[in-house]
Every structure is written in C-alpha cells, then in structure tokens.
Amino acid sequence: MLAAVLALLASFSWGTSDFVAGVEARRSTAWTAALGGQVVASLSLVALLLATSSASLSPAALAPAAVGGAVGGFGVVLQYRALALLDMGVVSPIIAGAALVPVVWGTIAGERPGTLQMVGIACALVGIVLISRRERARAPSPHTRRGILYAALSATALGLFLVALDLGGRSDPLLTVATARTAAAARNTAAANLLRMAHGARQSAALLREFQPQVCFVTGGYVCTPVAWAAKRMGVPVLIYLPDLTPGLAIRALSLLAARVAVSFPEVAPWFPGKAVVTGYPLRPELHAAAADRPGARAHFNLAPDLPVLLVFGGSRGARSINQALLAALPALVGQMQVVHISGTLDWPQVEAQAAALPESVRAHYHGFAYLHDDMALALAAADLVVARAGASTLGEFPLLGLPAILAPYPYAGQHQDANADYLVQRGAAVKLRDEELASRLAPLLLDLVQDRTRLGQMAQQAASLARPQAAEAIVDELLRLGASHG
C-alpha cells in the first residue's frame, strides 16, 4: 500500500509540474503538455482516493473519488500558480482554509465539526486576516490580487477534495472506526492507543449524528469503547451484552457508560449492580429448528437411529489435541457409538489420511468433516454426547439441546473457558478434562458415559434445565425499552 501511495504521489507531482511548465511557456505544444499534466494529476488523486478509502470499488465510491480527484488536482495546480505570484507565507494560511469547506458541507448535512478541525480553521482564518492587513499596507497590485485569487480558489478546490474523501469513505455499508487496546499488555503503545481511541470517538460521534440512533448495542471489549463513549455523550442509551461468566477489565470499564448490561446467567448480575438484566445466551434460529427435529438431524448425516451419536469438534479451526485423542480412541469406541468428527481445516489432511487407514468396520461408524457451517446446528441436534472446547457458546447451545458434554478448555484462552466448563460441571451437565489428559482419559470416559445410560440421561436433564430459549427476544425487548425511553 505504501509503495502504491508513493507512486501515485510521484505521478501527481510530475503532472502538476508539467502543467505549470506548460502554462509559463505559453506555447501551444506546452499547453498540450499542460493539459496532459492536469489529467495525470487528477487521475493520480482519484487513484489515491480509492487506494486509501475504506470503501469498496462501488459506483458510490467511484463517483466522489472521480469528482474529488479532478477538483483536487485542479486545486493543487492553482496552488502552484499562487506560489509563482506570492510567497509561501501568504499562500499557506489561505490553503489551510480548505478545512472550512468540509465544515460548511457538514453543517448543511447537520454535522458538528470536531475540536481539532475547529482549531485548524481558526488558525487559517487568523493567518488570512494577518495577510489581508499586510497586503493592504502595500500598493495595490494585479500581481498580488491574482495570486490571492488563485490561492483562495485552490483552497476551495482542495476543500471539495476533502469532502469527496469523506464521502468515499462512507459509501460502504460497513462503517469502521479507529480503536486500540488499553490493557496492561499494550503499555508500550499506550499514548498512541489513546490517540486512536480519541480519533475513533470523533468518528463515532460523526456517524451517530448522521445515523441518529435511539439505542446503541455493543457486545463488550475495548473495540466498542469509541462508539459507547460517543453514544453516552450524545445521550443515546447503551446496552452491553456479556456472554461470558467472568467479565474482563474492558467490559467492567465499559459498563460505566451503559444504561443496561444484559448477562447470560444470574451469577454474573452482581458484577453490575443496578444495571444487570438476565437474558440468557441468544441462539440462531437454525439451532432452534434443528432441536425440534432431532430424528431429521440424524437422517441428514445418515446416522443409525439405534446407536448413540458422539459429536467431536474443537472450534472453527479445530483442536489438534482433541483430534489426536479421538483418532487414537476410535477402535475402542466402534460398536458402542457412531462418531461425527469436525476436525477443523488445519488438521483435516492428516485426519483424513488417518481415517482412511482405519479398518472398514471402524470407518463405517466414523463421519469426518473439515468444517461445517450451515449443517453445524444439525450436527449438534443429532448428538447424544459432545466433546468440545468450552467457549461461551457452549453455555447456550448445549443447554438448549440438553446435550451432555466432555469439555477440554483451551489452555491459552485465559480463565474464560475454565470458568465456562466449571459452571456446567458444577451443575452436573458436563465433565471437564485438562488438555494434557485427553490422550489417556478420553476413551475410557466416553465408554463409561455411553454405557451408563442413567448418568448420561441425568446430565442431559441438568443441561436442559439451564436453557433460556427466549434469550434473543429478551435482549430485543430490552433494546426496545431503552429506545422508547430515549424517544
């Protein structure tokens, strides 16, 4: 990206200098070169706009880029002409007045300028006033007047270029704002991160003024800070949703800006006195539909209806320790259960090769997949027992399906996964294994659970008792209440 921008700037510089040379020479051939220079300068700015814009290359992004590049190129050429007639001390403050154009544009659109933008405009206006006083003391000169006119026109053109840059950045439906980490791990860049946060808060404020929301919904973490801060300052109520059992530092700090904090479990509510509302963990409609037709889910994977189904997965990228432990245990499990194994894309070539080497009698009960997306809800609904990590979704998905679990928390995920696993274990819905225990304990534990139907049934009942199937509706109701209170 840097190389592309430097190349575009070099092209732009060549175009503008060629234009000035052609104008000064006042020859027909030179004017042709001047026109070519103007075109090159404008096209370079168009490309620069598109290269640095967050927008996609859609017609909505191309239009402001094309117009802004052409006008911006013309503005810089006028600046060269002004510099040929006036000294830099006269031209620079006038060109700085280009910042006034986006402010006027934003005011018409109902936006308020930021603090730094106003400071820049004030400095430019002061400079223009001082220039005017100095020039009035001199004898009137067409040379000076023409130079000031060129500089003023250049400022206007460059201001329109800035407007085009802003419009091009907003043409994508997905609008992004700057943010940064504020945790202790980021001490070395604390000052830079705070500046990025401040910039993100200004971006958020501008977007919120344009969008005019009645309520702001965030899911926690430092990335939400600029938006939540801007919403709080504008009087827009903020609802935070926390899926985990243990709120981190960022979510606890962010809760100071929130009107309500939606939590999945009553045990989390004391962290947010006066603000917590227990909603449960929201789940996608496909999972609810699959839970209502579990025989259909088994048929989708060609699973026998009379043999228990074990589902094994380790997240979207997989979990190598779980994959290896399962493949080693497969010969002992065959005949007792049928296995749906989602290995993740990273380990799939190795898993596929090992599965192909298994005896036919084992492979008949093994159904391996690299990844499931649309069918993941069906895989969960088809299972009688699951082996998985202990991410936050396990606290919502497994209870909805009444699914007993063997959980192996990811050892490098902090304390969140351990807390999630312990929550289900303490309520009799799961068994917890440490990652290093998988190789030695997974196979005997699976056989014990499948052969002890009473224990497995009790675990399923305990899991189902934790379900909150109306969680999504509860969050929507809270958002509507907050939005109504805001008016």
Adjacency order of strands within the sheet including 366-369 = 366-369, 338-342, 309-313, 385-388, 405-407, 430-432
The DSSP annotation for 265-308 comes to SGGGGGGSTTTEEE------HHHHHHHT-HHHHHHHTT--TTS-
Residue 1: per-residue pLDDT:
37
Higher per-residue pLDDT: 463 or 246: 463
**What is the average pLDDT score of the chain?**
75
* DSSP 8-state symbol, 219: -
- pLDDT value of residue 244: 86
- Domains assigned to the chain: 2-170 (no CATH), 184-281+473-486 (3.40.50.2000), 286-464 (3.40.50.2000)
Exposed / middle / buried, residue 242 (Cβ in 10 Å: 0-12, 13-18, 19+):
buried
Q: Are 15 and 44 in contact (CB under 8 A)?
A: yes
Q: Which residue has the higher pLDDT, 40 or 409?
A: 409
Provide the pLDDT for residue 10: 43
Can you tell me the mean pLDDT for 229-244?
Answer: 92
pLDDT for res 131: 54
Q: pTM (2 decimals)?
A: 0.65
Q: How far apart are CA 449 and CA 279, in angstroms?
A: 32
- The pLDDT tens digits of the residues spanning 464-485 come to 999 999 999 999 999 999 999 8
| Nearest C-alpha neighbor of 433 from the set 397, 412, 407 | 407
Q: What is the pLDDT of residue 248?
A: 82
* pLDDT surpasses 70 at 356: yes
| pLDDT band (50, 70, 90) for residue 274 | very high
**Residue labelled with tokens 């989390």:** 268
Q: Could you tell me which residue, 443 or 170, shows the higher pLDDT?
A: 443
**Best CA proximity match to 265, nearest among 423, 381, 135:** 423
Higher pLDDT, 357 or 13: 357
> What is residue 409's predicted lDDT score, i.e. its pLDDT?
92
Identify the top-confidence range among 223-227, 239-243, 359-363.
239-243
pLDDT-derived band at 200 (thresholds 50, 70, 90) equals confident
Q: Is 142 exposed, middle or buried (0-12, 13-18, 19+ CB in 10 A)?
A: exposed
- The per-residue pLDDT for 119 is 52
